[in-house]
Structure 1
Amino acid sequence: MSLKKAQEEQREAYETEIKHAKLPRGNQVFGVVDQRLGGTRMRVRCLDGKQRLCRIPGRFKKRLWVREGDTVLVEPWELGGDTKGDILYKYTRAQYQWLKNRGYLKDVHEFEEF
Protein backbone atom coordinates (compact mmCIF):
# COMPACT_ATOMS: atom_id res chain seq x y z
CA MET A 1 0.00 0.00 0.00
CA SER A 2 1.33 3.42 -0.86
CA LEU A 3 2.06 6.01 1.80
CA LYS A 4 -0.56 8.41 0.46
CA LYS A 5 -3.31 5.78 0.55
CA ALA A 6 -2.34 4.78 4.11
CA GLN A 7 -2.50 8.42 5.21
CA GLU A 8 -5.95 8.84 3.62
CA GLU A 9 -7.24 5.76 5.45
CA GLN A 10 -5.85 7.03 8.75
CA ARG A 11 -7.49 10.44 8.21
CA GLU A 12 -10.86 8.83 7.38
CA ALA A 13 -10.66 6.61 10.45
CA TYR A 14 -9.83 9.64 12.62
CA GLU A 15 -12.69 11.70 11.20
CA THR A 16 -15.30 8.98 11.72
CA GLU A 17 -14.14 8.03 15.22
CA ILE A 18 -15.19 10.40 17.98
CA LYS A 19 -12.67 10.35 20.81
CA HIS A 20 -14.09 13.38 22.58
CA ALA A 21 -16.01 16.51 21.75
CA LYS A 22 -15.19 19.52 23.86
CA LEU A 23 -18.28 21.26 25.21
CA PRO A 24 -18.47 24.96 26.11
CA ARG A 25 -17.76 25.85 29.73
CA GLY A 26 -18.49 29.13 31.44
CA ASN A 27 -18.75 31.90 28.85
CA GLN A 28 -17.41 29.85 25.90
CA VAL A 29 -19.63 29.63 22.79
CA PHE A 30 -19.78 27.73 19.51
CA GLY A 31 -18.99 29.63 16.33
CA VAL A 32 -18.46 29.26 12.58
CA VAL A 33 -15.45 30.84 10.85
CA ASP A 34 -16.78 33.42 8.44
CA GLN A 35 -13.62 34.93 6.99
CA ARG A 36 -9.86 34.56 7.38
CA LEU A 37 -8.26 37.94 7.84
CA GLY A 38 -4.60 36.98 7.71
CA GLY A 39 -2.09 35.77 10.23
CA THR A 40 -3.93 34.23 13.13
CA ARG A 41 -7.02 36.44 12.96
CA MET A 42 -10.48 35.42 11.75
CA ARG A 43 -14.01 36.74 11.74
CA VAL A 44 -16.31 34.27 13.53
CA ARG A 45 -20.12 34.21 13.79
CA CYS A 46 -20.98 32.91 17.24
CA LEU A 47 -24.18 31.11 18.24
CA ASP A 48 -25.02 33.86 20.73
CA GLY A 49 -25.76 36.06 17.70
CA LYS A 50 -22.59 38.16 17.82
CA GLN A 51 -19.82 38.45 15.27
CA ARG A 52 -16.34 38.48 16.78
CA LEU A 53 -12.81 39.13 15.60
CA CYS A 54 -11.01 36.05 16.93
CA ARG A 55 -7.40 35.01 17.05
CA ILE A 56 -5.62 31.71 17.46
CA PRO A 57 -3.44 31.90 20.60
CA GLY A 58 0.30 31.31 20.25
CA ARG A 59 0.18 27.84 21.82
CA PHE A 60 -2.08 26.64 18.96
CA LYS A 61 -0.52 28.52 16.02
CA LYS A 62 1.18 25.60 14.27
CA ARG A 63 -1.17 22.91 15.61
CA LEU A 64 -4.60 24.32 14.77
CA TRP A 65 -5.35 24.94 11.09
CA VAL A 66 -8.72 26.60 10.58
CA ARG A 67 -10.59 27.25 7.33
CA GLU A 68 -13.73 29.18 6.47
CA GLY A 69 -16.86 27.26 7.42
CA ASP A 70 -15.22 25.30 10.26
CA THR A 71 -17.07 24.97 13.56
CA VAL A 72 -14.95 26.24 16.45
CA LEU A 73 -15.13 26.84 20.18
CA VAL A 74 -14.67 30.53 21.05
CA GLU A 75 -13.87 32.14 24.38
CA PRO A 76 -14.78 35.87 24.43
CA TRP A 77 -12.26 38.23 25.99
CA GLU A 78 -13.00 39.84 29.33
CA LEU A 79 -12.47 43.30 27.82
CA GLY A 80 -14.26 43.72 24.51
CA GLY A 81 -15.95 40.32 24.81
CA ASP A 82 -18.74 41.30 22.44
CA THR A 83 -16.31 42.00 19.61
CA LYS A 84 -13.16 39.93 20.30
CA GLY A 85 -12.25 36.42 21.38
CA ASP A 86 -9.89 33.44 21.17
CA ILE A 87 -10.39 30.23 19.19
CA LEU A 88 -9.81 27.32 21.56
CA TYR A 89 -10.81 24.23 19.56
CA LYS A 90 -11.78 23.15 16.04
CA TYR A 91 -14.38 20.40 15.62
CA THR A 92 -14.04 17.64 13.03
CA ARG A 93 -16.98 16.66 10.80
CA ALA A 94 -17.79 13.66 12.98
CA GLN A 95 -17.72 15.78 16.14
CA TYR A 96 -19.94 18.37 14.44
CA GLN A 97 -22.49 15.66 13.55
CA TRP A 98 -22.33 14.27 17.10
CA LEU A 99 -22.96 17.72 18.60
CA LYS A 100 -25.79 18.35 16.15
CA ASN A 101 -27.46 14.99 16.88
CA ARG A 102 -27.21 15.58 20.64
CA GLY A 103 -28.91 18.98 20.33
CA TYR A 104 -25.97 21.23 21.20
CA LEU A 105 -26.05 22.84 17.75
CA LYS A 106 -29.80 22.93 17.18
CA ASP A 107 -29.79 26.60 16.11
CA VAL A 108 -27.20 26.13 13.37
CA HIS A 109 -29.70 26.07 10.48
CA GLU A 110 -31.17 29.45 11.43
CA PHE A 111 -27.67 30.68 12.26
CA GLU A 112 -26.18 29.80 8.85
CA GLU A 113 -28.74 31.94 7.03
CA PHE A 114 -27.82 35.35 8.46
Structure 2
Amino acid sequence: MSDSDSRKDLRMPEGDEVFAVVTDMLGANRVKVRCMDGEERTARIPGRMQKRIWIREDDVVLVEPWDWQEEKGDIAWRYEKQDADQLRREGHIQ
Protein backbone atom coordinates (compact mmCIF):
# COMPACT_ATOMS: atom_id res chain seq x y z
CA MET A 1 0.00 0.00 0.00
CA SER A 2 1.64 3.22 -1.10
CA ASP A 3 1.40 6.54 0.74
CA SER A 4 -1.06 7.93 -1.82
CA ASP A 5 -3.41 4.98 -1.21
CA SER A 6 -3.58 5.75 2.52
CA ARG A 7 -4.39 9.44 1.98
CA LYS A 8 -7.97 10.32 2.84
CA ASP A 9 -9.90 13.34 1.68
CA LEU A 10 -10.41 15.09 4.99
CA ARG A 11 -12.93 17.72 5.92
CA MET A 12 -11.24 21.09 5.49
CA PRO A 13 -12.23 24.44 7.05
CA GLU A 14 -15.24 26.08 5.43
CA GLY A 15 -16.09 29.75 5.76
CA ASP A 16 -14.37 31.19 8.84
CA GLU A 17 -13.55 27.83 10.48
CA VAL A 18 -9.96 27.31 11.68
CA PHE A 19 -7.91 24.29 12.76
CA ALA A 20 -7.29 24.13 16.51
CA VAL A 21 -5.70 21.84 19.11
CA VAL A 22 -7.50 21.23 22.42
CA THR A 23 -5.22 22.40 25.25
CA ASP A 24 -7.47 22.15 28.30
CA MET A 25 -10.78 20.67 29.37
CA LEU A 26 -12.82 23.32 31.22
CA GLY A 27 -15.95 21.33 32.05
CA ALA A 28 -19.57 22.30 31.30
CA ASN A 29 -19.07 21.30 27.62
CA ARG A 30 -16.27 23.83 27.15
CA VAL A 31 -12.65 23.39 26.14
CA LYS A 32 -9.67 25.72 25.71
CA VAL A 33 -8.24 25.55 22.19
CA ARG A 34 -5.14 26.98 20.49
CA CYS A 35 -6.20 28.00 16.99
CA MET A 36 -3.88 28.03 13.98
CA ASP A 37 -4.62 31.74 13.46
CA GLY A 38 -2.70 32.43 16.69
CA GLU A 39 -5.72 32.92 18.95
CA GLU A 40 -6.52 31.10 22.21
CA ARG A 41 -10.25 30.52 22.37
CA THR A 42 -12.84 28.99 24.65
CA ALA A 43 -14.79 26.60 22.45
CA ARG A 44 -18.17 25.07 23.14
CA ILE A 45 -18.98 21.45 22.37
CA PRO A 46 -22.41 21.64 20.70
CA GLY A 47 -25.20 19.39 21.87
CA ARG A 48 -25.17 17.26 18.71
CA MET A 49 -21.59 16.17 19.57
CA GLN A 50 -21.74 15.87 23.37
CA LYS A 51 -22.67 12.22 23.81
CA ARG A 52 -21.51 10.91 20.43
CA ILE A 53 -17.99 12.29 20.06
CA TRP A 54 -15.54 12.35 22.95
CA ILE A 55 -13.10 15.24 22.84
CA ARG A 56 -9.85 15.01 24.80
CA GLU A 57 -6.77 17.16 25.29
CA ASP A 58 -4.44 17.27 22.24
CA ASP A 59 -7.29 16.41 19.83
CA VAL A 60 -7.29 18.33 16.56
CA VAL A 61 -10.63 20.04 15.90
CA LEU A 62 -12.22 22.59 13.61
CA VAL A 63 -13.46 25.67 15.46
CA GLU A 64 -15.96 28.17 14.11
CA PRO A 65 -15.28 31.51 15.87
CA TRP A 66 -18.31 33.50 16.99
CA ASP A 67 -19.06 36.66 15.01
CA TRP A 68 -19.80 38.73 18.10
CA GLN A 69 -17.05 37.40 20.43
CA GLU A 70 -13.80 36.57 18.66
CA GLU A 71 -12.29 34.80 21.70
CA LYS A 72 -15.03 32.16 21.73
CA GLY A 73 -16.29 29.63 19.23
CA ASP A 74 -18.02 26.33 18.56
CA ILE A 75 -16.36 23.04 17.74
CA ALA A 76 -17.53 21.96 14.29
CA TRP A 77 -15.52 18.75 13.79
CA ARG A 78 -13.06 16.44 15.55
CA TYR A 79 -10.37 14.60 13.61
CA GLU A 80 -9.35 11.01 14.35
CA LYS A 81 -5.70 10.54 15.34
CA GLN A 82 -4.58 9.23 11.93
CA ASP A 83 -6.41 12.11 10.20
CA ALA A 84 -4.66 14.62 12.49
CA ASP A 85 -1.30 12.98 11.65
CA GLN A 86 -2.10 13.39 7.95
CA LEU A 87 -2.92 17.09 8.48
CA ARG A 88 0.43 17.54 10.22
CA ARG A 89 2.29 15.77 7.43
CA GLU A 90 0.63 17.98 4.82
CA GLY A 91 1.52 21.11 6.81
CA HIS A 92 -2.00 22.31 7.69
CA ILE A 93 -1.29 22.29 11.45
CA GLN A 94 1.83 22.39 13.65
Q: Decide: shared fold, TM above 0.5.
A: yes
Partner of 1:34: 23
What TM-score does the superposition give when structure 2 sets the normalisation length? Answer: 0.86
Partner of 2:3: none
Does residue 45 of structure 2 align to residue 56 of structure 1?
A: yes
Question: Runs of 5+ in structure 2 lacking a partner?
Answer: 1-5
AA matched with 1:103: G
1:7-60 deviations in whole A, cap 9, x for unaligned? Answer: xxxxxxxxxx76642100111000011111112001111000000010111111
Q: Distance in 2 between matches of 1:26 and 1:89?
A: 14
Structure 1's 59 and 18: CA in aligned 2 closer, same or farther, altered over 3 A?
Answer: farther
Of 53, 61, 69 in structure 1, the residue corresponding to residue 58 of structure 2 is 69
The offset of 1:104, in angstroms, is 1.7
Choose 1 or 2 for highest CA Rg.
1
Does residue 92 of structure 2 align to residue 104 of structure 1?
A: yes
The Cα RMSD (Å) is 1.5
Are the aligned partners of 1:43 and 1:54 in contact in 2 as well (CA < 8 Å)?
Answer: yes
What TM-score does the superposition give when structure 1 sets the normalisation length? Answer: 0.72
Partner of 1:25: 14
Structure 1's 63 and 74: CA in aligned 2 closer, same or farther, altered over 3 A?
Answer: same
Structure having the larger proportion of residues in strand: 2
Does residue 26 of structure 2 align to residue 45 of structure 1?
A: no
Question: Runs of 5+ in structure 1 lacking a partner?
Answer: 1-16, 109-114
Structure having the larger proportion of residues in helix: 1
Q: Distance in 2 between matches of 1:39 and 1:20?
A: 32
Runs of 4+ in 1 over 6 A off after TM superposition: none
The offset of 1:70, in angstroms, is 0.8
Q: Distance in 1 between matches of 2:82 and 2:36?
A: 19
SS in 2 for 1:64: coil
